[in-house]
Structure 1
């Protein structure tokens, strides 16, 4: 507990110093506390790989992550987000963890499930555990919520995504690195060779381990893009397993064996600020390419 208090105090002091240095004062505090957290970037990424079947050309995947409901993010905001996702007409939806900030203290479960249930994707809705989904004795609670909302919870598991012509890809999901037990070999156990594998991992830095396995793309959250960044310096603090790859697109490995994308998430945690790290939805459009 003392470690958390120290980090929180450090962030508050550093953020106040930044605002003073840049002459933003109360206006900067208002922007970081009220304005930027309510903004939304929609990032469009082409997901290409030789193993993606041509029948998947144009398939649209929408990723959202790290809503942290109950801290600063509300059900009304989530409902608005769900409507925006629906307008994108995704074929596949992936949630990469941290639904509630403190699951055991969230009291509006009965209102949450109908909102998430409104999300529709003909190829499926998938989710994984983040560290906050395990925290506060929330593991079973989170699973029950997501399954009631018609998401498939992938806990060290894989699911095939099939087209009518018989072609397929696989979506893999592993447990959280901080409070769970990620097991990629278990997730790959029944996955045949020579298929495109998309890994959902809350923790982006596990990409270095994923390099050892037939994983072609990984999408993650967790880091919030740093949540608070200093111009010309970057993120003040990044969480464990979100320090090497804090946000955006990476080619991992000596020969670019793995492509990683790290989503900045939607909500906030620890401090109710975002500065130079706007909330994000990521839209991936799949495209086969010749080897």
Structure 2
């Protein structure tokens, strides 16, 4: 018996239905499951001066807190059990005007540790609903409509009162575990507010003392990474990309939302510029915009970097 047109139409309908069901299931997984599968990525780097003790850096980025995100808050609080020597926060902490209280409650245990921070655009301004396909045309923009300001000043004040250093277009040195760490940070490059002022100069013999130079930015635009590396950075930390947020298994990120190559959108890589080779850690981030609450093949993360002697 041959196949009839009715059979063909029925088969096509079943295939279409299965495809649609798979799409719905994938979207449900990305929205309800994977975006809450918080994890810790661990990395080790032998970049400290000889004889230095190990240094544990907890890198947080893109928390994008929204009220009533209990699972995220509980997980963040639990990171204090890692007992880091230093917390580095690379911005985009908020995603809702009423999220400051929940954010600070979630970070409270970590504020007991030394820390530094730089802001992202979603520290200054609330996110807006955008066409997600525009990300494929290049880095997103804030548009021309008035923006709703977030309580960034109160957030900065609380971070500062806990002793975290504000590196917004600033540089500063701190002593930690017998080592001098020279920081240089920039305001959000995605907003075009970055201004690299160099690393701290110190005394005339500063380069002879054991030290480590760390560049800190929210968005890893190439101009910023080049400036850090030209300035003598030994390590660079950034976020912003969300690791691509929605990735293709076996391929990776489709976009980085900046001019960073997509294969660098998450993880520890080596940035090469003018003969310098500098480790670059880009965090895939912990949250998402509240208008795009999905992750696929790109789980949320914090990063624990253990630095050891060369």
Which interval holds the TM-score relative to the shorter structure? 0.7 to 0.9
1:90 aligns with 2:84: yes
| Corresponding residue number in structure 2 for 1:196 | 212
| Corresponding residue number in structure 2 for 1:171 | 183
| Corresponding residue number in structure 2 for 1:237 | 255
1:219 aligns with 2:232: no
Aligned match of 2:268 in 249, 265, 281?
249
After alignment, is 131-140 or 90-99 more displaced?
131-140
1:272 aligns with 2:262: no
Whole-Å Cα distance in 2 between the matches of residues 232 and 146 of structure 1? Answer: 39
Tell me the alpha carbon deviations over residues 95-115 of structure 1, each in whole angstroms, 9 at most, x when there is no partner: 11000024xxx2253444343
Equivalent residues, number: 261
Structure 1: tracts of 5 or more residues without a match: 1-19
| Corresponding residue number in structure 1 for 2:228 | 210
Contact 1:45–1:285 under 8 Å retained in 2: yes
| Corresponding residue number in structure 2 for 1:117 | 108
Structure 2: tracts of 5 or more residues without a match: 1-17, 126-147
Where 1:129 maps in the other structure, the secondary structure is coil
Cα separation, partners in 2 of 1:256 and 1:35, compared to 1, 3 Å: farther
- Give, in angstroms, the shift of residue 219 of structure 1: 1.0
Aligned match of 2:160 in 144, 147, 150?
147
1:258 aligns with 2:278: yes
- Give, in angstroms, the shift of residue 145 of structure 1: 4.1
TM-score normalized with structure 2 length: 0.74
- Give, in angstroms, the shift of residue 91 of structure 1: 1.1
Aligned match of 1:66 in 62, 66, 69?
62
| Corresponding residue number in structure 2 for 1:17 | none
Contact 1:94–1:127 under 8 Å retained in 2: yes
RMSD, aligned α-carbons: 2.7
Where 2:74 maps in the other structure, the secondary structure is helix
Tell me the alpha carbon deviations over residues 48-78 of structure 1, each in whole angstroms, 9 at most, x when there is no partner: 22x53533x22211111101112xx744234
| Corresponding residue number in structure 1 for 2:306 | 285
| Corresponding residue number in structure 1 for 2:98 | 107
| Corresponding residue number in structure 1 for 2:195 | 183
Contact 1:147–1:153 under 8 Å retained in 2: yes
- Give, in angstroms, the shift of residue 26 of structure 1: 2.8
| Corresponding residue number in structure 1 for 2:36 | 38
- Give, in angstroms, the shift of residue 218 of structure 1: 0.4
Where 1:211 maps in the other structure, the secondary structure is helix
Contact 1:91–1:121 under 8 Å retained in 2: no
Contact 1:222–1:242 under 8 Å retained in 2: no
Whole-Å Cα distance in 2 between the matches of residues 277 and 23 of structure 1? Answer: 22
- Give, in angstroms, the shift of residue 47 of structure 1: 2.4
- Give, in angstroms, the shift of residue 28 of structure 1: 1.4
| Corresponding residue number in structure 1 for 2:5 | none
Cα separation, partners in 2 of 1:161 and 1:213, compared to 1, 3 Å: same
| Corresponding residue number in structure 2 for 1:9 | none
Whole-Å Cα distance in 1 between the matches of residues 160 and 168 of structure 2? Answer: 13
- Give, in angstroms, the shift of residue 210 of structure 1: 2.2
- Give, in angstroms, the shift of residue 275 of structure 1: 0.2
- Give, in angstroms, the shift of residue 268 of structure 1: 0.9
- Give, in angstroms, the shift of residue 169 of structure 1: 1.9
Contact 1:65–1:266 under 8 Å retained in 2: yes
TM-score normalized with structure 1 length: 0.79
